Amino acid sequence: MDSFARGNPPGTPDAPEVYLDNSATTPPLPEVVRAMLTVLQEEYGNPSSLHRRGRMAAQILRYSRQSVADLLRVDPDEIVFTSGGTEANNLALRGVAELAAGSHRFVHDRPHLITTAIEHPSILEPARYLEQHGWDVTYLPVDREGLIDVDQLAAACRPTTVLVSTMWVNNEIGSIQPLDEIGATLRRLREEYRAADRAASSGSEVRAYPYWHVDAVQAVGKLVVEPLRLGIDLLTVSGHKIHGPKGVGALFIRKGVRIAPLLLGGGQEEGLRSGTENLPGIAGMGEACHLARGLLATLPAQLWTLRERLWQGIAAAIPQAYRHGPSDPSRVAPHILSVGFPGTKGEVLVRYLSDRGVATATGSACHSRNPSPSHVLTAIHLPPAEAEGTLRFSLSIQNTAEQVDRTVKVLKEAVAEVRELAGWRSA
């Protein structure tokens, strides 16, 4: 046997690989690949060119933008394509921050950002960056289920708050933040601040702050994501989490929201994202959004059934396994299941399962090579020893009941073996 060239077995006709790591990335659907191939091989024009090929490329860009906008039920002009979720999150935070910091409001006061303790690093790191550059940042804690307390949000908000950034679905434990309540709270506070401004007759400038940004990377395609209905100002989408390609994402920017670009150059994307458009990626993402919109009526229920089947299977087969995340089903994403297996190590289980054709993850893929415990599991007050024994299963349209059953079977063996070797006794 060759242990040097070990990887996930590609799967055999008898037992194809079970891919349960769809929160890390999803396999591109065949239609997506076809759309991309067409652009790569035939429609290689630059959308800025004036000739026929350029106009063709511009049309593909337009259609793709329309398709993303349709999925979110927003105007195509409100969509800016980026290189992915990370860039969209950075653009939202740093783009809003740059313009706000220049406002006369903040000559004396430090601008303020509110976010949560369980955000993706592409939010937390820009937040830390702003903190180092004169911003006050509040990181809202979450409860054991991974949900913020809206009263705490209201209490944290102040007249200097420029931006509130909350994720829609947490990528590690699947918790869904109470966006309705957050939106209502922010609307109310904004009104109060405006009234105060008017009373002080300080504003020739009409206050729009605090803006509200939502990282919806894990929500799009699995839940109905319509930012305008909730009063969201900015919203992040990623291509490769919805069976599109890697290297492309989008930021929804509501009309009227002012934001500065990160990249300067040829002025593409209305000047908000210079650089020749990644047209193959954008076409792929457009196709993926189109497909996602068609599936949205049935997919959530389908995923939910699979998730329940997986959890019931695990609960029946493996003693003392327990779920992380909210107990209220309306507060959990249908595709993410995070399970603790006391007496094990997540990364050992991942490798064990991988050798038997099942792809899973510890907390999240970003953490899998980092030996310190996940910040999300720490934020929900899980002791490090328990966090270590956590696996995340994330489902997609391509998973089946049979795959789920096979996973439970392999998982049962894996957990039993690791526990036996570790000398673990059930309490």
Residues at the contact surface with other proteins, assessed by CB under 8 A: 1-4, 6, 345, 347-348, 350-352, 354-355, 369, 371, 417-418, 420-423
Which of 68, 114, 106, 127 is CA-nearest to residue 284?
68
Least separation in angstroms between CB 363 and other proteins: 15
Between 77 and 420, whose beta carbon lies closer to other proteins? 420
State how beta strands 358-359 and 322-323 pair: unpaired
Q: How far apart (Å, rounded) are the C-alpha atoms in residues 179 and 167?
A: 9
Least separation in angstroms between CB 424 and other proteins: 9
Q: How far apart (Å, rounded) are the C-alpha atoms in residues 70 and 403?
A: 32
Beta bridge mates, 235: 214, 252
Least separation in angstroms between CB 371 and other proteins: 5
Q: How far apart (Å, rounded) are the C-alpha atoms in residues 45 and 179?
A: 41
**What is the residue-wise DSSP string for 234-256?**
EEEEESTTTTS-SS-EEEEE-TT
Q: How far apart (Å, rounded) are the C-alpha atoms in residues 22 and 52?
A: 39
366 flagged as catalytic: yes
Least separation in angstroms between CB 310 and other proteins: 21
Q: How far apart (Å, rounded) are the C-alpha atoms in residues 232 and 234?
A: 6
Least separation in angstroms between CB 367 and other proteins: 14
Least separation in angstroms between CB 333 and other proteins: 28
Burial (CB < 10 A; 0-12, 13-18, 19+), residue 239, is: buried
Least separation in angstroms between CB 405 and other proteins: 22
Q: Are 264 and 270 in contact (CB under 8 A)?
A: no
Which of 350, 382, 391 is CA-nearest to residue 118?
382
Catalytic residue among 366, 412, 416, 424: 366
Q: How far apart (Å, rounded) are the C-alpha atoms in residues 129 and 137?
A: 10
Between 34 and 412, whose beta carbon lies closer to other proteins? 412
Within 8 A by CB and 6+ apart from 312, the residues are none
30, 36, 37, 39 alpha-carbon torsion, rounded to 10°: 150
Q: How far apart (Å, rounded) are the C-alpha atoms in residues 374 and 44?
A: 42
Write out the catalytic residue numbers: 366
